[in-house]
Structure 1
Amino acid sequence: MVSTVRTVLGEVPADRLGVVDAHDHLFIRSPQLPGKELDDVADAAARLAGFGALGGGTVVQWTPYGMGRRTAELPALSRTSGVHIIAATGLHQAAHYAGELLDAVRDRLAELFVGELTEGIGATGVRAGLIKVAGGFHGLDEHATLTMRAAAEAHHRTLAPIAVHLELGTGALDVLDLLCGELGVRPESVILGHLNRSPDFTVHRLAAEAGAFLAFDGPSRTNHGTDWRMPDALRALADAGFGDRLLLGGDTVTPDTPGMPYLLRRVRPRLELTLGKELVDQLLVANPARVYAW
């Protein structure tokens, strides 16, 4: 049986995704980032076109419920650019939402996630291809625990992968203890995001040994200038036998983020110099095709 990935245009064989930006955003808005919304369709189209021109084949949008996903725009953007797009359901940290929005969904999160995975997001008919949730800083607060329990239930009912925002790259082992230990989620269905922001090689190794996928996604910002450690972190994991567990992403969250073309224009050649082209191709092509397949 051929594994397939659920894109905004329907099912696509996993081996047809091409080069994958495993974590990014075409659209996103949050009260935590006032005035820095990604909400411009023309800008999204330009970023997709730039990514495609550099050989990009698929972008995974991790924008979850209630954060300006603009799902209705995604099919046309995918058709025009020729780049596959995977959309997300799920819920971010509580700080990214108005209280009344959370109150409206808090008691039905699992049903919300399952509905968007199986029936579609709103009236768009676009079905989500992953569940995105978030941890806290060096741990899990009550909101994170609630959303991860709902994500685990949705995973068990659909087998959709679960992508986790780790706050400044921390809390990975707490997430795995809850999702995979207590709640029985298959570790190979869990993607731990932002590990580049916390270059703790021991935690990286333990998370990889547990069986999760590890995403190194997004350029450094002033409060976590760790880009220079990423090649060493990836090499250490690959040398330990975990090259098949690693992912790369651009994580465009504000208009001043370098953007998804930057992943291929700057990050890819830099990593090829230090890791070799074969391993980088594995991170960009083979690994995301496995984890995003249902």
Structure 2
Amino acid sequence: MATGLYTYNDVPFYFHYLGPGAQLDGPEIMTDMFVRDIEHGIADTGIKAGILKCATDEPGLTPGVERVLRAVAQAHKRTGAPISTHTHAGLRRGLDQQRIFAEEGVDLSRVVIGHCGDSTDVGYLEELIAAGSYLGMDRFGVDVISPFQDRVNIVARMCERGHADKMVLSHDACCYFDALPEELVPVAMPNWHYLHIHNDVIPALKQHGVTDEQLHTMLVDNPRRIFERQGGYQ
């Protein structure tokens, strides 16, 4: 970083030498690192992580990505911390994640498959729900990937199909985003901010027949259920 240069890979290069299948082999050190962040705190801050996050994007299950998914699954089973994922919804990557988690013995009802709102493929979403996971309808405001109206429509449609109890709503917004020049973010994604759900999404969902009870389920009850289940398991 001192040179201004850095690289991005599926896992940090350190892990290419240590861990299952690596040159020096050994136990999965990522799992222990994740567990430490949850049980003792991140670095020396004392701040304990409350959720595990992992990603499967367009390249799919590369060896590094699969290793991370399995390490996350193992850390989840040891701690009980819920899992939330990033996916490429158009390529149905959530199904790959569920398969790996299931192989590791994860209770899929403790997993949020993220970015499902990028998809309007009801069949794909129904498959994820049938396996037990929550759908993260969580990119409201990222209209460059899927337009606002499509995002509203798919949530309303899944509510009509009786799945309000299997969805959570969010916007994937952040305080700082370095993938675009700072001044370009509000131009490219003007609705990508923390008030979008309250100001725009809730009224639009109501106009499409989503009830106050369903909204409360998605915004309050489901997140509470995800986090209130504590403790590891075998």
> Do residues 212 (structure 1) and 144 (structure 2) align?
no
- Give 3-state SS (helix, strand or coil) of 1:94's partner: coil
Question: How large is the RMSD of aligned CA atoms in angstroms?
Answer: 2.4
Query: What corresponds to 1:287 in structure 2?
Result: 222
Query: Alpha-carbon deviations, 1:172-226, whole Å to 9, x = none?
Result: 111111112x11100111101111112211000111111101011122342x233
| Partner Cα separation in structure 2 for residue 209 and residue 236 of structure 1 | 16
Query: Alpha-carbon deviations, 1:221-263, whole Å to 9, x = none?
Result: 42x2332222332233223332111001111143525211222
Q: Quote the offset at 1:122 in angstroms.
A: 0.8
> Do residues 198 (structure 1) and 132 (structure 2) align?
no
Q: Quote the offset at 1:102 in angstroms.
A: 5.2
In terms of fraction of residues, the more strand-rich structure is: 1
> Do residues 174 (structure 1) and 108 (structure 2) align?
no
What TM-score comes out, normalization by structure 1 length?
0.62
Structure 2: any 5+ residue segments left out of the alignment? 1-5, 20-27
Q: Quote the offset at 1:103 in angstroms.
A: 5.0
Where relative contact order (Cα < 8 A, 6+ residues apart) is larger, the structure is 1
| Partner Cα separation in structure 1 for residue 221 and residue 65 of structure 2 | 30
| Partner Cα separation in structure 1 for residue 18 and residue 79 of structure 2 | 20
**Inter-CA distance 238–105: structure 2 relative to 1 (3 Å threshold):** farther
| Partner Cα separation in structure 2 for residue 220 and residue 165 of structure 1 | 14
- Give 3-state SS (helix, strand or coil) of 2:149's partner: helix
Counterpart amino acid of residue 96 in structure 2: D
Contact kept in structure 2, 1:199 and 1:226, CA below 8 Å: no
| Partner Cα separation in structure 2 for residue 229 and residue 270 of structure 1 | 11
Query: Alpha-carbon deviations, 1:140-174, whole Å to 9, x = none?
Result: 22122101110111111111111110025531111
Aligned match of 1:236 in 134, 157, 181?
157
Query: What corresponds to 2:80 in structure 1?
Result: 159
Aligned match of 2:200 in 266, 281, 284?
266
- Give 3-state SS (helix, strand or coil) of 2:213's partner: helix
Q: Which moved more, 1:183-192 or 1:229-238?
A: 229-238
Counterpart amino acid of residue 142 in structure 2: S
Query: Alpha-carbon deviations, 1:62-102, whole Å to 9, x = none?
Result: xxxxxxxxxxxxxxxxxxxxxxxxxxxxxxx835x7x5465
| Partner Cα separation in structure 1 for residue 18 and residue 111 of structure 2 | 23
Query: What corresponds to 1:118 in structure 2?
Result: 39
**Inter-CA distance 213–138: structure 2 relative to 1 (3 Å threshold):** farther
Structure 1: any 5+ residue segments left out of the alignment? 1-30, 33-92
Structure having the higher Rg: 2
Contact kept in structure 2, 1:215 and 1:248, CA below 8 Å: yes
**Inter-CA distance 100–174: structure 2 relative to 1 (3 Å threshold):** closer
**Inter-CA distance 155–117: structure 2 relative to 1 (3 Å threshold):** same
**Inter-CA distance 172–100: structure 2 relative to 1 (3 Å threshold):** closer
Query: Alpha-carbon deviations, 1:106-145, whole Å to 9, x = none?
Result: 6510001100010111111111101000113273221221
Counterpart amino acid of residue 277 in structure 1: D
Aligned match of 2:9 in 94, 107, 128?
94
- Give 3-state SS (helix, strand or coil) of 2:85's partner: strand
Counterpart amino acid of residue 178 in structure 1: I
Contact kept in structure 1, 2:136 and 2:167, CA below 8 Å: yes
| Partner Cα separation in structure 2 for residue 118 and residue 284 of structure 1 | 27
| Partner Cα separation in structure 2 for residue 290 and residue 239 of structure 1 | 21
- Give 3-state SS (helix, strand or coil) of 1:128's partner: coil
The share of aligned pairs that are identical, in percent, is 25
Contact kept in structure 2, 1:111 and 1:154, CA below 8 Å: yes
Aligned match of 1:248 in 165, 169, 174?
169
What TM-score comes out, normalization by structure 2 length?
0.77
Counterpart amino acid of residue 216 in structure 2: D
